[in-house]
Structure 1
């Protein structure tokens, strides 16, 4: 009888503890710029990845790209935290060799219908507010092109390149192809 009472009391106490804990939690609403990830190879069954990028996907919501990505100003390449790109083996961006590891990726819209892609050694960065050019590891100027389809949400996808992989970025009708070679 005492054992049953004790077990019932313990079970009641644990239930009350868990119930009060669950009720005390406040969860945020869904983010307006949800986080996403792209990797290469894209097949989730292939664990032998070359690269992965984690970024947030801002929406146009009736705004123009020049309003969201002003020329001459470093952009975090997405929303919220600066996006992080991980290479699982050494690659090159232009003539610069990047060691396997995790970096942040920034972009800089240029006036000549191109953008400068910036790989930085800074990590855990919110936006581009604390961007420091001294921490750049690589830079490459790439042309902008126009797509047929308008993308409401900023999007990234890796594809196979001639001698490596290409990180494709798109938003509105603008497209950027960033080549990473082996």
Structure 2
């Protein structure tokens, strides 16, 4: 019995000590070659996913999450009345895995860019067919598939990072987009 305990302690010491040696060996092996990795992005990428009752993916949003950092967001950092990429870095991407209705417009399954035009009382929400864009520099309304207005709502608490999430709604889901002290709901409904 004592041998098993000592053996177990010896094995545990070996496994705990081995990673330290492995790290030291890595330094020796790679001392001539420096590994460079990028820093964590100030506005990290995230995604929101909407699944139906059968757990099948219906819609996905990929976006970057800028931080408030004691700044005045809407009307200042994000100007009112101007097209916004709805995030940071690359423009926000929406993938629909099946045809959906956004307000009264039917949108075919596929990839789209989500732009918004924030206002004090309402936002214009745009699904645009030009994808893989950085910022909103390449935006043109000629490629708009949907353009709807949604009311601005007061958030119950300050939202430090731009956040998006799908919330179940009748016959579909609402995409919630919130930052600072406000949020909007974008209705996505089943097309059939």
Shared fold (TM-score greater than 0.5)? yes
Runs of at least 4 residues off by over 4 Å = 19-22
In angstroms, what is the RMSD of aligned CA positions? 2.3
Correspondence for 2:185 among 160, 177, 180: 177
Q: CA deviation at 1:132?
A: 1.0
Correspondence for 2:106 among 70, 80, 97: 97
In the alignment of these two chains, the number of paired residues is: 163
TM-score normalised over the length of structure 2: 0.79
C-alpha distance in 2 between matches for 1:67 and 1:173: 14
C-alpha distance in 1 between matches for 2:48 and 2:132: 18
Q: CA deviation at 1:25?
A: 3.8
Deviations 1:68-87 (CA, angstroms, capped at 9, x unpaired): 21111000001000010111
Deviations 1:43-94 (CA, angstroms, capped at 9, x unpaired): 9xx7511111000000011111122211110000010000101111100111
1:68 and 2:77 matched = yes
C-alpha distance in 1 between matches for 2:98 and 2:77: 33
C-alpha distance in 2 between matches for 1:51 and 1:157: 11
C-alpha distance in 2 between matches for 1:48 and 1:108: 31
**Alignment partner, residue 15 of structure 1:** none
Structure with higher Rg: it is: 2
Q: CA deviation at 1:26?
A: 2.0
**Alignment partner, residue 43 of structure 2:** 33
The 5 Å alignment of 1:90-169 reads 90-111=99-120, 113-169=121-177
TM-score normalised over the length of structure 1: 0.83
Any conservation in 2 of the 1:39–1:52 contact (CA below 8 Å)?
A: yes
**5+ long unaligned stretches in structure 2:** 1-28
